Amino acid sequence: MVQDPSRYKAFKAADFLADEYFAATRLAKNVEDVRFWESLISLYPEVAAEIELADQWIGLLRQQPVFKSSLNNEARWQRMKQALPSYEKQQNRRHMIRRYSRWTARVAAVLVSVFMLYEVSQMGAQVTNTAYGERRSMHLPDESIVQLNSNSKLKYVRDWKSDKPREVWLEGEANFHVKHTAVKNRLREDDYFIVHVGELSLKVLGTKFNVKDRRNRIEITLFEGSVQVDNAAGLQYVLKPGETFMYDRIKDEEQVLVDKSKEALSWTHGEMLVEHQKLSDIIEVLEDNFGYSVELKDSSFLNRRLSGVIPLTKVDDILFVIRHTMDLKIDKQGKKIIINTK
Amino acid sequence: MDKELLWWQSFRMGEEEAFKLLFERYSPLLFNYGYRFTREENVIEDSIQEFFMKIWHNRANLNDTVSVKNYVYKAFRRTLLIHIERANRKQNIPKEHLSFEIELPHDTKIMRKERLEEIKVQLQKALDKMTPRQREVIHLRYFEELSYEEIADIMGLSVKDLYKLFYRAMDSLRKNIAPFSLLVVLALLFEAKSS
């Protein structure tokens, strides 16, 4: 290592001590290095005292007292040899536990990733199911309100992106109160709310309407605003408030009725409004919304009609009305209802 | 090849003789090093014992090393610090507290210079003003004669951080020694003239 002597011209003792070359050569003396420092002193006599001081510091630091333990090496060795077997036993046990816990951790990691995969595969889908006899009211992320009738299912994506229309998928029956998000005079694709039901899609802005999909018949009743019904085959109809759009999924036939609004809405109050309705309509409700299977001993009853309001909250109340207004004998056994003449 | 490296390799193969040679060579050195951190001999002895039991137990998994001293000091320091922390916890001493003392030779008569006693007092004062970690670097550098790379490894620092620590120690030394150093220069010059 060749050093430039002028570097050290103005060095103080502390600078020498801190200097790597100086320290290295003072700790491991070799003749060449000793000569370098000697020549430096003859070149710059003023650094002599500083080098001297730095040397003394190093000397003092090197000659620190060595502290000795009360244990000598042999005693220490014996002590360790005695402690070793129990130490090794303890370490081996710890090793086993560590290996065991590593396996548990692995199993846990697999379970977690399976769960994550499932979550990801669902892509944040939010599904609500209602049981027989259950009705549920819920708020969607955009503050629209949906009342879901019994035995129905509503599915939507958990977070609605602002640049896409809002979309929900319905099975069964639901009443929608959709929040209007469009700014006046500026309608965009993402302001739409789309309900997918069977093969139909209902495109709406802010409206109130009821959708019912039972027994391959879809009924859409509009209370306020407007709803545009589309299907893949090119069917298109724009409903006016008060209209009911009925679509037969088997026959692929549609029909528009008026004056069904009250009827369509009545379930949301826990009632069934029937005007000149056949017994068959009530049986449908018992089967679709409450999950009963109804057996008729005589099919001629099906065409018997009745009018009025039937409470829908309890099956027994419905049966009570039928029994007394139609004068029929009704037996309920578990999930089975048998209707017969008295 | 270095004698210690041969011991190290034989020890890793499971030769107890070599292990004992390493034990006898290093345990007094480690005791002395440990004594700078704590004055509790039990803590140091327990750390030495655990360190050697640990390397014996794990000998098959140990790496071949370039410097046995570097490895031994580094691994021992880690074990010792755990033991000190455990002992401190019992006495409610804060976790961060880890002292390191440098004690200069008591008997300076073995050295020739007359003014050495004064120089020693000044150096001791300057050292006392440093942080424990600064003192540790100085000890490892000038007493243990380890390189900066080795010291950084032992203390678990990057070489860059180690340099920073070292230069801060030197700044502290400069600051605390300055007024005296002039005196020494004059005295030495005077001495040189008179002799």
pLDDT in tens, A146-170: 999 989 999 987 666 667 788 899 9
* Domain spans of chain A, in order of start: 5-63, 69-122, 126-264, 271-341
Contact A61/B102, CB-based, under 8 Å?
yes
Please give the Cα distance from B70 to A183 (Å, whole number). 74
Task: Give the model's confidence band at B184: pLDDT under 50 very low, under 70 low, under 90 confident, else very high.
Answer: low
A173-A179-A185 Cα angle (round to 5): 130
**Whole-Å CA distances, A142 to A121, A165, A200, B21:** 24, 11, 22, 78
Please give the Cα distance from B169 to A18 (Å, whole number). 9
Q: Is the pLDDT of residue B38 over 70?
A: yes
Q: pLDDT tens-digit profile of A93-136?
A: 988 898 899 999 999 999 999 988 887 766 667 888 898 888 89
Average pLDDT, chain B: 86
Max Cα distance, chain B (Å):
65
Q: CB atoms < 10 A from the CB of A144, how many?
A: 20
Q: Which of A237, A242, A247 is nearest to A261 (CA)?
A: A242
DSSP state of A186: B
Q: pLDDT tens-digit profile of B55-81?
A: 999 998 888 887 899 999 999 999 999
pLDDT at A159: 67
Say yes or no: do domains A126-264 and A271-341 share a fold. Answer: no
| Residue from the list A12, A53, A79 with its beta carbon closest to the beta carbon of B49 | A79
- CB contacts < 8 A (A, B): 115
Q: Is the pLDDT of residue B22 over 90?
A: yes
Contact A76/B27, CB-based, under 8 Å?
yes
Q: Which of B132, B128, B149 is nearest to B66 (CA)?
A: B149
Chain B touched by A62 (CB under 8 Å): yes
Distance in Å, alpha carbon of B142 to nearest chain A alpha carbon: 6
Contact B28/A68, CB-based, under 8 Å?
yes
pLDDT at B1: 56
Distance in Å, alpha carbon of B10 to nearest chain A alpha carbon: 18
Q: Where are the beta strands (DSSP E) in A94-151?
A: 125-129, 136-139, 145-148
- Residues of B in Cβ contact (< 8 Å) with A64: 102-105, 139, 143
Q: Is the pLDDT of residue B182 over 60?
A: no
Q: Looking at the domain A126-264, which fold is it?
A: Jelly Rolls (2.60.120)
Both structure tokens of A224:
């306020």
In CATH terms, A271-341 corresponds, of 3.40.50.620, 3.30.2000.20, 3.40.30.10, 3.55.50.30, to 3.55.50.30
Q: Is the pLDDT of residue B190 over 80?
A: no
Contact A138, A145 (CB under 8 A): yes
**Whole-Å CA distances, B38 to B28, B31, B93, B105, B137:** 15, 10, 13, 18, 17
Q: What percent of chain B has pLDDT over 70?
A: 85
Prediction pTM value: 0.56
Contact B124, A65 (CB under 8 A): no
Task: Give the model's confidence band at A21: pLDDT under 50 very low, under 70 low, under 90 confident, else very high.
Answer: confident
Q: CB atoms < 10 A from the CB of B116, how many?
A: 19
Q: Is the pLDDT of residue B40 over 70?
A: yes
Interhelix angle B3-12/B16-37, rounded to 10 degrees, is 110
| Residue from the list B23, B44, B108 with its beta carbon closest to the beta carbon of A77 | B23
